A and B are shown apart, each in its own frame.
Chain A
Amino acid sequence: MTFRARHLLGIEHLAPLEITTVLDLADRYVDLNRRTVKQSDVLAGMTQINMFFENSTRTQASFELAGKRLGADVMNMSVAQSSVKKGETLIDTAMTLNAMHPDLLVVRHGASGAVNLLASKVNCAVLNAGDGRHEHPTQALLDALTIRRAKGRIQRLTVAICGDIAHSRVARSNLILLGKMENRIRLIGPPTLMPSGIGEFGVEVHDDMRKGLEGADVVMMLRLQKERMDGGFIPSEREYYHRYGLDADKLSHAKPDAIVMHPGPMNRGVEIDGDLADDINRSVIQDQVEMGVAVRMACMDLLARNLRLERGRKIVGTMV
């Protein structure tokens, strides 16, 4: 077993072997989740707090379910409506919670680096559930698991990531993960939605979607993040859909067995054709949701093991 991390802040800090470790363990949790009795006790007695500074339905539900299935006591803090509105800073909120001795802290925040900041102030394990435009590590891991189960491997594939790359933490985490696992990556989207310095990332960049999709094994669509845009990135949604929306015609340029992915929530008719999204022969979007719970169980399981080890060492240390 190779997984040394204390926190899960980003894919950037994970070694390829650690990624494989998560995926292998997650595979086992997929099996558990398909049983009628989905109970495990690896987190029994532990407290998990979900702090979502940004609204989220699916990720928060996924983390909550993952914690409950592993036997943790799960608490959801809807920070969006609480003390933060009264002017309390992120660090003070974190230190207050820390004093209640949680073991796992799941955090989503609208500012890049906010979860790193928080992790430096608490002594439990912190899981990044998305910070600004920085990283969303569990999403990249669940995408990797979905690809590995559909394609049989997570190496030497051609993966096209399409759409709003600039505003997407999902794209960043996936870029790093897929790069670490030695895949060929193509980014497709209008140049206004590409991050700066993209030429130095070691990826192919396309603004013609049909060309970009040629020979792709995996097509990852991204949501157009209207809430992060301060205006004027694209002329209109209909022009965007015409040029970058995934439909059967554009998909025909990819490999015939290419899978279609989307992290959700989808804007049907903006970045993806509704029928295509529901096509069980091509779309693995529902699988992604299923893998999400398993991957989060695996991550929390591994972090909890490291936490126990660390605390064990501390106790031994004080006794001597």
Chain B
Amino acid sequence: MTTLHLTHARIIDPEAGTITQGSVTLAKGVIAAINGPKPKGATEIDCGNHHLAPGIVDIGVKIGEPGERHRESFRSAGLAAAAGGVTTLIARPDTAPAIDTPETLEFVTRRALDASPVRIRHMAALTKGREGREMTEIGFLLDAGAIAFTDAFAVTQDAKVLSRAFTYARSLGALVIGHPQDPGLSKGAAATSGKFASLRGLPAVSPLAERMGLERDLALVEMTGVRYHADQITTAHALPALQRAKESGLDVTAGTSIHHLTLNEIDLGDYRTFFKLTPPLRSEEDRLALVEAVANGTIDCISSMHTPADEESKRLPFEEAAAGAVALETLLPAAMRLYHAGHIDLPTLFRALSLNPARRLGLPQGRMAIGAPADLVLFDPDAPFLMDRFKLQSKSKNTPFDGQRMEGKVLATFVNGTRVHTA
């Protein structure tokens, strides 16, 4: 493995919250030196005064293996991730069949191994078939390498089932990822209730359904002591509950999706199905509250919630179309909107994109420090481009940013000390 010496970089350190000019040396898969001399025989890469940050750790990526490889394979997801500066993918278990046995988990782990240029870790289902009736073999799954347990967007209705799964997971120290949402209220919803959804005539869910789901989960966390992460907090109403739980010392963290940070319900105006997401897009007030919550640390992580959907499932009337959007490649440029708007500085952004998710999962990634894994992204936050969905590496092209002007281009991605993507 060649030693790489990256010079003239603006180094983003999310831990220290700083951006400094200097060089980074990558050797043997780790960051060997920062601002050190060029080692003998090292290949020098001039970063041209662009920004160098720890690679993104993306919790909650849907990949279509097994079952839906026409939507996304480990190969295509990995290429998309590399192009987007995502160096660790945390894959969702809402596949067909669900990843709910050690055998399926071993299968996908093997499939992913050589297919992807970036690291892939797998989450396993919390209940069998994600049906909310019986817990999975959490112990075996942990042994097989499951990094966290989640039923993705399927919400378990029966609190008793959940309390047992949480208690069992707690005894093994497993991390549980919940989808805070009241299943009854949110059933069939394609928009957030309010004037806008009413005018468009779309079935809608109250934003309070998220708080109800979160409060229920938090009470179960208090009851069982499990380590808990909420996949997406998307409404202002849910934030005080989250803050209270954190202040009371519960082992709770939360994420949000890049789409809920950069888009709002008005974007549904033309019934464009690429804007149909789970949960649905919220009001502008909610969006601003979320941005603030990421800036002040109430929300820990930003995810792409990458959800590939084929053309057929999106070429339908809005309420009948599939929900979800691809986002591995648009995550970083979309996040730059928050930076350019002056809402969040770059070190804070990479705290939420890289450092916090890695920490929460117990991974060594996400840090700009000597000895940390050499997973880095080099990018230009100001480079403008017009988003063309057909240029995406992802097999599915359902991005809501199609045709939009964006700023922020990934120039190079490094994983384990090797360059895996060059723009």
Whether A113 lies near B200 (C-beta < 8 A) is yes
Closest chain-B Cβ to A161's Cβ sits at a distance in Å of 14
Quick check: is B173 within 8 A (CB to CB) of the other chain?
no
Docked CA distance A53–B206 (Å): 29
Docked CA distance A116–B257 (Å): 28
Quick check: is A97 within 8 A (CB to CB) of the other chain?
no
Residue in contact with A112 in the complex, picked from B193, B196, B271, B315, CB distance below 8 Å: B271
Q: Which residues of A contact B318 (CB under 8 A)?
A: 111-114, 117
Whether B315 lies near A91 (C-beta < 8 A) is yes
Chain A residues within 8 Å of chain B by Cβ, number:
26
Quick check: is B316 within 8 A (CB to CB) of the other chain?
yes
Most A-side CB within 10 Å, residue of B194, B201, B319: B201
Quick check: is B312 within 8 A (CB to CB) of the other chain?
yes
Q: Which residues of A contact B188 (CB under 8 A)?
A: 230
Q: Which residues of B contact A230 (CB under 8 A)?
A: 188
Q: Which residues of A contact B271 (CB under 8 A)?
A: 112-113, 116-117
Residue in contact with B200 in the complex, picked from A91, A112, A117, A198, CB distance below 8 Å: A112
Q: Which residues of A contact B204 (CB under 8 A)?
A: 196
Whether B319 lies near A112 (C-beta < 8 A) is yes
Q: Which residues of B contact A200 (CB under 8 A)?
A: 194-195
Closest chain-A Cβ to B183's Cβ sits at a distance in Å of 14
Quick check: is B197 within 8 A (CB to CB) of the other chain?
yes
Q: Which residues of B contact A91 (CB under 8 A)?
A: 315-316
Whether A196 lies near B312 (C-beta < 8 A) is no
Most A-side CB within 10 Å, residue of B188, B194, B195, B271: B271
Question: B195-219 interface mask toward A, CB cutoff 8 Å, 1 = contact, 0 = none?
Answer: 1111111101010000000000000
Contact segment of A131-139, A144-152, A251-259 = A131-139
Docked CA distance A12–B200 (Å): 10
Q: Which residues of A contact B315 (CB under 8 A)?
A: 89-91
Whether B201 lies near A197 (C-beta < 8 A) is no
Docked CA distance A114–B319 (Å): 9
Q: Which residues of B contact A116 (CB under 8 A)?
A: 270-271
Residue in contact with B201 in the complex, picked from A89, A112, A117, A198, CB distance below 8 Å: A112
Q: Which residues of A contact B312 (CB under 8 A)?
A: 89
Quick check: is A233 within 8 A (CB to CB) of the other chain?
no
Whether B194 lies near A197 (C-beta < 8 A) is yes
Quick check: is B317 within 8 A (CB to CB) of the other chain?
yes
Quick check: is A172 within 8 A (CB to CB) of the other chain?
yes
Which residue on B lies nearest to A175, using beta carbons? Answer: B199
Question: B363-380 interface mask toward A, CB cutoff 8 Å, 1 = contact, 0 = none?
Answer: 000000000000000000
Which residue on B lies nearest to A195, using beta carbons? Answer: B198
Q: Which residues of B contact A89 (CB under 8 A)?
A: 312, 315-316
Q: Which residues 266-281 in B have Cβ within 8 Å of A in the complex?
A: 270-271
Residue in contact with A196 in the complex, picked from B193, B270, B316, CB distance below 8 Å: B193
Docked CA distance A172–B202 (Å): 12
Residue in contact with A90 in the complex, picked from B194, B198, B317, CB distance below 8 Å: B317
Docked CA distance A114–B271 (Å): 8
Q: Which residues 240-291 in B have Cβ within 8 Å of A in the complex?
A: 270-271
Chain B residues within 8 Å of chain A by Cβ, number:
22
Q: Which residues 315-340 in B have Cβ within 8 Å of A in the complex?
A: 315-320
Whether B193 lies near A114 (C-beta < 8 A) is no
Q: A89-B312, A116-B271, A133-B201 known; A111 and B194 CB under 8 Å? A: no
Q: A116-B271, A196-B204, A196-B206 known; A111 and B197 CB under 8 Å? A: no
Q: Which residues 52-108 in A have Cβ within 8 Å of B in the complex?
A: 89-91
Whether A111 lies near B317 (C-beta < 8 A) is yes
Which residue on A lies nearest to B205, using beta carbons? Answer: A196
Quick check: is A186 within 8 A (CB to CB) of the other chain?
no
Whether A197 lies near B198 (C-beta < 8 A) is yes
Docked CA distance A109–B43 (Å): 63
Whether B197 lies near A197 (C-beta < 8 A) is yes
Docked CA distance A117–B201 (Å): 14
Docked CA distance A34–B200 (Å): 37
Q: Which residues of B contact A12 (CB under 8 A)?
A: 199
Docked CA distance A114–B317 (Å): 5
Whether A196 lies near B194 (C-beta < 8 A) is yes
Whether B196 lies near A197 (C-beta < 8 A) is yes
Docked CA distance A208–B198 (Å): 22
Question: B105-123 interface mask toward A, CB cutoff 8 Å, 1 = contact, 0 = none?
Answer: 0000000000000000000
Q: Which residues of A contact B316 (CB under 8 A)?
A: 89-91
Most A-side CB within 10 Å, residue of B194, B197, B198: B198
Closest chain-A Cβ to B268's Cβ sits at a distance in Å of 9
Q: Which residues 209-234 in A have Cβ within 8 Å of B in the complex?
A: 230
Residue in contact with B317 in the complex, picked from A109, A135, A196, CB distance below 8 Å: A109
Known: A90-B317, A91-B315, A172-B199. 18 other contacts (CB 8 A): A89-B315, A109-B317, A111-B318, A111-B320, A113-B202, A113-B317, A114-B317, A116-B270, A116-B271, A117-B317, A132-B201, A133-B202, A134-B201, A169-B201, A196-B195, A197-B193, A198-B195, A230-B188
- Provide 23 A-B residue pairs closer than 8 Å at the C-beta atoms, listed in order of the A residue: A12-B199, A89-B316, A90-B316, A91-B315, A109-B317, A111-B317, A111-B318, A111-B320, A112-B202, A112-B317, A112-B318, A113-B202, A113-B317, A116-B270, A116-B271, A131-B201, A132-B201, A135-B201, A169-B201, A172-B198, A196-B198, A197-B196, A198-B198
Q: Using CB atoms and an 8 Å cutoff, list the residues of chain B in contact with chain A.
A: 188, 193-202, 204, 206, 270-271, 312, 315-320
Q: Using CB atoms and an 8 Å cutoff, list the residues of chain A in contact with chain B.
A: 12, 89-91, 109, 111-114, 116-117, 131-135, 166, 169, 172, 195-198, 200-201, 230
Q: Which 8 A-B pairs have the closest CB atoms?
A: A113-B271, A134-B201, A111-B317, A197-B195, A133-B201, A195-B198, A196-B193, A112-B201
